[in-house]
Amino acid sequence: MPELPEVETTRRGIEAHLLGQRVSRVLVREHRLRWPIPEDLDVRLSGQRILRVGRRAKYLLIEAEAGTLIVHLGMSGSLRLVEQGLPAGRHEHVDIELESGLALRYTDPRRFGALLWSPEPLQHVLLQKLGPEPLTEAFDGARLFELSRGKTIAVKPFIMDNAVVVGVGNIYASEALFAAGIDPRKPAGTISRPRYERLAAEIKRILAIAIECGGTTLRDFVGGDGQPGYFQQELFVYGRAGEFCKVCGGTLREVRLGQRSSVYCGRCQR
């Protein structure tokens, strides 16, 4: 599933080709995504100039003159730019044709993504209650400490809660907790402020690295597959259950927290 760094890489990959362009037509081949694509999307977006390509959490915000297209890639979605008229494959559901002659093509084999229209996207029900972006000053250890008081939930699902902070998915939560030396099973309310300050710093560091990795491994969103580079930094715990810890040499353990697999080191993480 694309996480925040991959979505940010996608944003960077398509931005230069969309900014200032006017939409000629929106061709929807399949309306049935996670939520139905608005039937009048072509009417709303055609003729509009694209003013900004932003991101909020894992939502891409393609801002036009009269409103904003909210795009979520779901579990398997991607965006790429193709020449208009290029025959579409089975899972290539939408083309947003531009005056440049290119089309922004949305592909989603599982159809679990979304393309929605909103005049005020930050007030949309999907976005209005989201927590702060992790790479901004609004997110820090003090916030984690204050929100965690009295919480018995394990710290890993706590930091993956989008109301606490957005974009800390399974990979990045696992790696940040390892880097901070915190056991993912530990109740959120029992962790001290200094340890949360370190955890917040590690979340910021690891997400920043992942975004840069995405940028450096990015192939080409024009005519390519539209897939961003994923986190290329060598992983310490994620997906390595039963293997040796690269720090202490112990065996990595696996547990399920919040219906997700969590791998950790019983020696390095307390």
CATH for 251: 1.10.8.50
For the cut 90, the answer to whether the pLDDT of residue 33 exceeds it is yes
Task: Say if residue 240 is in the same domain as residue 201.
Answer: yes
Q: Which of 88, 123, 158 is the last residue of a domain?
A: 123
Q: Is 146 considered catalytic here?
A: no
- Token digits of residue 253: 């353990």
User: Does 110 count as an annotated binding residue?
Assistant: yes
Task: Say if residue 153 is in the same domain as residue 118.
Answer: no
Task: Say if residue 160 is in the same domain as residue 234.
Answer: yes
Exposure of 51 in the CB half-sphere (CA atoms within 13 A): 9
For the cut 70, the answer to whether the pLDDT of residue 218 exceeds it is no
Q: Is 58 considered catalytic here?
A: yes
Mean pLDDT of 216-244: 74
Report how far residue 82's alpha carbon sits from residue 12's, in angstroms, rounded to the nearest whole number.
16
Task: Say if residue 63 is in the same domain as residue 173.
Answer: no
Q: Is position 184 within any domain?
A: yes
Exactly one of 11, 55, 56, 58 is catalytic; name it: 58
Q: In terms of Cα–Cα distance, which of 34, 242, 72, 28 is closest to 166?
A: 72
Q: Is position 9 within any domain?
A: yes
Please provide the average confidence, as pLDDT, over all residues in the chain.
Answer: 93
Q: Which domain holds residue 35?
A: 4-123
pLDDT band at 213 (very low <50, low <70, confident <90, very high): confident
Q: Is position 109 within any domain?
A: yes
Q: How many domains does the chain have?
A: 2
Task: Say if residue 149 is in the same domain as residue 114.
Answer: no
Q: Is 2 considered catalytic here?
A: yes
Report how far residue 231's alpha carbon sits from residue 171's, in angstroms, rounded to the nearest whole number.
9
User: Does 246 count as an annotated binding residue?
Assistant: no
Question: 50-86: per-residue pLDDT in tens?
Answer: 999 999 999 999 999 999 999 999 988 999 999 999 9
- Give phi and psi for 23, each to the nearest 5: -80, 125
Task: Say if residue 155 is in the same domain as residue 113.
Answer: no
Task: Say if residue 206 is in the same domain as residue 156.
Answer: yes
Task: Say if residue 169 is in the same domain as residue 107.
Answer: no
DSSP codes joined into one string, 159-206: HT-TTT-S---HHHHHHHHHHHT--TTSBGGGS-HHHHHHHHHHHHHH
Exposure of 148 in the CB half-sphere (CA atoms within 13 A): 26
Exactly one of 49, 111, 260, 267 is catalytic; name it: 260
For the cut 80, the answer to whether the pLDDT of residue 228 exceeds it is no
Q: Is position 84 within any domain?
A: yes
Task: Say if residue 114 is in the same domain as residue 165.
Answer: no
Task: Say if residue 146 is in the same domain as residue 118.
Answer: no
For the cut 90, the answer to whether the pLDDT of residue 188 exceeds it is yes
Question: 99-138: per-residue pLDDT in tens?
Answer: 999 999 999 999 999 999 999 999 999 999 999 999 999 9
- Residue 3: what pLDDT? 86
- Token digits of residue 102: 């290119």
Exactly one of 2, 5, 121, 134 is catalytic; name it: 2
Q: Is position 118 within any domain?
A: yes
- Residue 184: what pLDDT? 98
- Residue 219: what pLDDT? 52
Report how far residue 111's alpha carbon sits from residue 92's, in angstroms, rounded to the nearest whole number.
10
Q: Is position 133 within any domain?
A: no
pTM to 2 decimals?
0.90
Percent of the chain surpassing pLDDT 70 = 94
pLDDT band at 216 (very low <50, low <70, confident <90, very high): low
Q: Is position 148 within any domain?
A: yes
Question: 143-169: per-residue pLDDT in tens?
Answer: 999 999 999 999 999 999 999 999 999
User: Does 91 count as an annotated binding residue?
Assistant: yes
Task: Say if residue 117 is in the same domain as residue 153.
Answer: no
For the cut 90, the answer to whether the pLDDT of residue 22 exceeds it is yes
Q: Is 32 considered catalytic here?
A: no
For the cut 80, the answer to whether the pLDDT of residue 221 exceeds it is no
Task: Say if residue 28 is in the same domain as residue 56.
Answer: yes
CATH number (domain holding residue 38): 3.20.190.10
